[in-house]
Structure 1
Amino acid sequence: MNTGTLPSPTGRSAPGRPSGDASRPDRRGFARRHDWLWAALLTFGVAVTGSGTPQLWRDELASWNAAIRGTGDLVAMLGHVDAVSGLYYLLLHGWVSVFGDSATMLRMPSAFAMAGAAAFVVLTARTLFDRRAAVFAGLLFALLPSVSRYGQEARSYAFVVLAVTAATWLLVRALDRPGPRRWAPYALAVAAAGLFHIVSLLFLLPHALIVVLRWWRDRRGRTVVAFTVTVAFALVPVVPLVLLGQRQVGRQISWIKTPHLRSIAEIWDSLFGSPLVSLAIAALALLPLAWSRGRRPAVELVLIGAVPIAAAWVVSQGSTSYFMDRYLLFTVPAWVVVAAAGLAALRPRPLGVAGLAAVILLGLPDQRQLRTETAKAGRDGAEAAAVIAKGYRPGDGFVPVRGDDRVYMTDFQVEYSLPPRVELRDVFAQRSAVANDDLFPVECAQPEKCLGTTRRVWVVTWSGTQNPYHRLPKKQAEALEKHYKPVRRTKVHGLQVSLLERVR
């Protein structure tokens, strides 16, 4: 029995009537058109799963400290430090003012950004290859350990990934059918990438190469001119940020070491959050190069993934190094798409499914590790705060290890976890960080005078020693030792909490 289109009296199909049961929605067609949506939802779901468990680490604590300031105080701080993170801080400030500053809420904007990036990963894979590659790309991206890591991070890196991935898809569309309506959104994506992180603008190098290569092959229109003008407009709002960032760069990233050749292999592992997964991605990325239909887009994607890494390595041989895995995270989507195309090219087809499953399984141990309490921080600031809260008395003082170790933000780590009823006096802070328009307070030049009449002081330093003043600046340690005696010491993971009482 024929279950297809009912014949008309003339023996032809009835005009205007689709084949199949018209009363039923074309669910398969809807799914095919919206592959990007399920990929985004899956990525978001994986990112938020367990996102509240790991304690905030120092960079996230900087984000928290900036976001909870008043708008005026935040803008004033950006004039002295962290201007390159300004757009993200302002976005996070608005978010926490509505949804609060729990670890889950602080990290959720990054989960949304990664979900958006997943959508563009799928769209790019489908545009350059086919639906099978797009499905593999969506699954692979969503379940990549590094995507989960930075989808659970209160920093701007997920937003950079979103902006660069969107820019790549928009470039492909603009090159297929050039016109102002397609170049304009590309300009917005470029500007967003630069405003969220200046180093991400390295992606413009491979984009420029792709534009030139396509123009050389097709000799169509004024593609190179249109691209150049678009990028020039896009960079206008980024230029002031670059100039301000250059004045702050020595303070913010001077600690990053000049990379060696072996650093490229090390950063490759870190980009994917798992050494085994990184090896699998590298192997799969080679497969489309042998696939005639996929060779050109595969080469373009390899350029987008490889050129920024090489450029960052070269630039970092100078006075300032920018060679960090998280700074180059925006290259991951390109590698994911080309690896997914490699899986899609495998025959017989079940081999591609098996390969995808194997890559995902290889990353499961790293996924579990990412969701442990000390996966990021390495020191248990929450437990240290609990010790202080349990023994707290109104008027107690607080001395966190700062000095040369202030970048570890032990003070923020403890303060973040303290209940509202606990109000400690930071005894060696002569001027607060907010008053100083900085992330850090101005510490007393004469610590003994700043002690005042404080009867009890909680000192938080590194563990691994019985010395309650370990790593404190010499003058601070001497002032405390002269006027106080330790009455209690408690060790938590990575930290030591000491209660001092005044003797004279």
Structure 2
Amino acid sequence: MRRSVVEQNENIRAVPALNRLSWDGAGWLSRLWWVPILALAMALRFYHLTSAAIWGDEGSSLLLSEYAVTDLWFHAAHDVHPPLYFLLLRGWIEVFGDSIGSIRSMSAIPGAVVVGLGIWLTQQLSTRRAAVLAGLLLALLPTAVRYSQEVRMYSLLGVWLLGATLALVYWMRQPERTRYLAAYVVLMSAGFYTHYFTALCVLVHWAYLGLQPRGQRLITRPAWWLANAMIVLLYLPWLPNLLDLVQHVDQLKVGGDIGWEEPVNLLSLPSMIWQFLLQDEAVDVWPPLFWLFPLLLIAVVAITAWHSRPARLLALFFLLPLLLVYGVSFISPVFIERYLTVYALGLPILIALAIDRLPSRLAWLGAALFVLVAGVELLGLKNTFTVDEQNQFNVPVEFINRNYQEDDRIVLSDMMWYLSYVYYDQTDAQLQLFTPPKPDGTSTRPNAYGFGTLVDQDGGRIYLDHLSALPADTRRVWLVSSNEAPDEFAPLPGGWRELSRQEGGGARARLFVLCNVPAPQPEGCR
């Protein structure tokens, strides 16, 4: 009996210790609540990472990254993007190689980092519950997943701009801490060296500071102006290149690097919101639903921003660039999803803030909103990951690689095909770009700006104005063009006989033998 009492006393003393151990362990684990969300974000961004073929814009990134640093600076200056991403890509390839998995990982990893920054920013503006919801919606955001799987600068830009916005929030809370402004200067400068649309983020930050109550307006502080002056100073080395590019905008239009965008209309704005979440413009959706869903989201954003001052920063981050670029596009169309995908990151965070602010009696409404948005995102992810691997541009290129014979000629009808083809080419052929003159005799050769800067130095060997200008000893020619009518190579010279063809990714590769050449005639003519 005595032993039983002693054991009971020992057990009683052990319970608090056990509870304390469990509580401490739970506290330690609770600080890692964001890890599963980042794991989800990483998994989604690496899922099917290599399924889609390299396309033209990605090919241009790879061609730029092949230049030596000084040459890269020059050619990037003649392109329509600043050089930082391409410089980093060059270093990445030197370390990790140029396989599709490697080069796209340089976008997938920053894409997951963006989700972490979004969680961090949300927790600074609201509660942990809001941060969890924001993290989940950011991890699932289809437009962010898509552009985390391309060899382009958009996910990296998200790191710079969300990081800069986070630094701004910290500085606003502790204006005496200049290290936050120092971080802001570095991040915004990196943004400007990555993409010109960083200027929209500048407008967002200045607008938010300007909207603060009169006694809290940090916009008048000398430290803020000094920080922005430092950003300008750091950008000065690139500024002459930007001004030179602006002066040659007509040459960019001639080359098709700008000015190819479709004009906007009343449907473009809701279509863009659908595109962010569904990866589909939704023009075939039932008309009331087409309008109601985007309007619901805009209403949620507006109401949340009205009742929450911190939410106004995210509302400006999402809405100001979207509406400004939409308005400008009535004059000069630039309303393209990938240009705005970094600013779409504000939408999931705002939805999370809206749900978190709802009173407990309306918890069902918040749950319904979360399920609705997450459900649309899941459909968007399905659209993102739907890739027909047998209908990709690499299929016709690999067909040529397998059937290529020494001295075959390969001619491509379009610069975008050329940029993609270079990555997959395993032949020793000099690829040529078909540049037939216009009916009035005007040349269609690219100029030294835009994509033309990537091949201009080799233009004499690359450009082919007439198929009849091929060397006289040519026996076989591969023609790569769109698989849609009309045929960009028509009319073909006499005596050309088609032997085989392969389609994929919207392109068609055809092998021709030239039967009008001196004997011996190639196989297929007899």
**TM-score range relative to shorter protein:** 0.7 to 0.9
CA apart distance, 1:125: 0.9
Q: How does 1:211-230 map to 2 (within 5 A)?
A: 211-214=209-212, 216-218=214-216, 224-230=221-227
The AA in structure 2 aligned to 1:26 is D
8 Å contact kept, 1:92–1:106: yes
Q: How does 1:92-491 map to 2 (within 5 A)?
A: 92-178=89-175, 179-214=177-212, 216-218=214-216, 224-239=221-236, 240=239, 241-247=241-247, 249-250=249-250, 251=252, 252-274=257-279, 283=296, 286-287=299-300, 295-318=308-331, 320-346=332-358, 347=360, 349=363, 352-353=366-367, 355-374=369-388, 380-402=392-414, 406=415, 409-418=416-425, 420=426, 422-427=427-432, 436-437=456-457, 442-445=462-465, 447-464=467-484, 470-472=487-489, 481-482=493-494, 484-491=496-503
| Residue pair 2:208, 2:312 contacting (<8 A) in 1 also | no
Classify the secondary structure of the residue corresponding to 2:104. helix
Q: Distance in 2 between matches of 1:137 and 1:429?
A: 49
For residue 121 of structure 1, report the CA deviation from its aligned partner: 0.7
In structure 2, C-alpha distance between the alignment counterparts of 1:435 and 1:189, rounded to whole Å: 32
Per the TM alignment, residue 248 of structure 1 is displaced from its structure 2 partner at its CA by 5.0
Query: Relative to 1, partners in 2 of residues 1:277 and 1:97: Cα closer, same or farther, differing over 3 Å?
Result: farther
Change in Cα spacing, 1:441 to 1:96, as seen in structure 2 (3 Å) is farther
What percentage of residue pairs aligned between the two structures are identical? 24
Measure the CA separation in 1 of the matches of 2:12 and 2:186: 47
- Provide the TM-score with structure 2 as the length reference: 0.79
The Cα shift of 1:42 comes to 2.6
Counting matched residue pairs gives 474
* Residues 13-92 of structure 1 aligned to structure 2 (within 5 Å): 26-82=24-80, 84-92=81-89
Is contact 2:261–2:334 with CA below 8 Å preserved after alignment?
yes
Conserved in 2, the CA contact under 8 Å of 1:200 and 1:330? Answer: no
Q: CA deviation at 1:459?
A: 1.0
Write the letter of the residue equivalent to 1:152.
Answer: Q
Distance in 2 between residues matched to 1:257 and 1:316, nearest whole Å:
9
Distance 1:2 1:138 in 2: 46
- Where 2:147 maps in the other structure, the secondary structure is helix
Distance in 2 between the 1:292 and 1:383 partners?
49
Contact 1:308–1:331, Cα closer than 8 Å, also in 2: yes
Secondary structure of residue in 1 paired with 2:336: coil
Distance 1:435 1:498, change over 3 A: closer
Residue type at the aligned position of 1:254: G
Judged with a 3 Å threshold, the aligned counterparts in structure 2 of structure 1 residues 33 and 93 are, in CA distance, closer, same or farther, namely same
Provide the rounded CA distance (Å) in 1 between the counterparts of 2:164 and 2:124: 14
Distance 2:469 2:73 in 1: 32
Q: Which runs of 5+ in 2 are unaligned?
A: 1-7, 283-288, 436-444, 446-451, 518-526
**Structure 1 position 497, deviation (Å):** 2.0
Check 1:281–1:300 CA distance in 2 against 1; reply closer, same or farther (3 A cut). Answer: farther
Q: Is the 8 A contact 1:428 1:447 kept in 2?
A: no
Change (3 A) 1:226 1:71: closer
SS of the aligned residue for 1:234 comes to helix
Q: Which amino acid aligns with 2:473?
A: T
In the TM superposition, what is the alpha-carbon distance from 1:443 to its structure 2 partner? Answer: 1.2
Cα gap change, 1:80 to 1:292, in 2 (>3 Å): closer
1:330-369 Cα shifts (integer Å, max 9, x gaps): 2222221110112223435576456434432322232122
Aligned counterparts of 1:439 and 1:271: Cα–Cα separation in 2: 39
- Aligned residue number for residue 14 of structure 1: none
Shift of 1:247: 3.8
The AA in structure 1 aligned to 2:420 is Q
Q: Give, in whole Å, the separation in 2 of the partners of 1:194 and 1:63.
A: 17
Structure 1 residue 208, shift from structure 2 partner: 1.1
More deviation in 381-390 or 180-189?
Answer: 381-390
Normalised to the residue count of structure 1, the TM-score between the two structures is 0.82
Gaps of 5+ in 1: 8-17
* Partners of 1:439 and 1:116 in 2: CA distance: 40
Match of 2:521 in 1: none
Q: Which moved more, 1:201-210 or 1:290-299?
A: 290-299
Give distance in 1, aligned partners of 2:403 and 2:198: 47
Residues 290-329 of structure 1, C-alpha deviation per residue, up to 9 Å, x if partnerless? Answer: 67996212233212211122222333444x4332221112
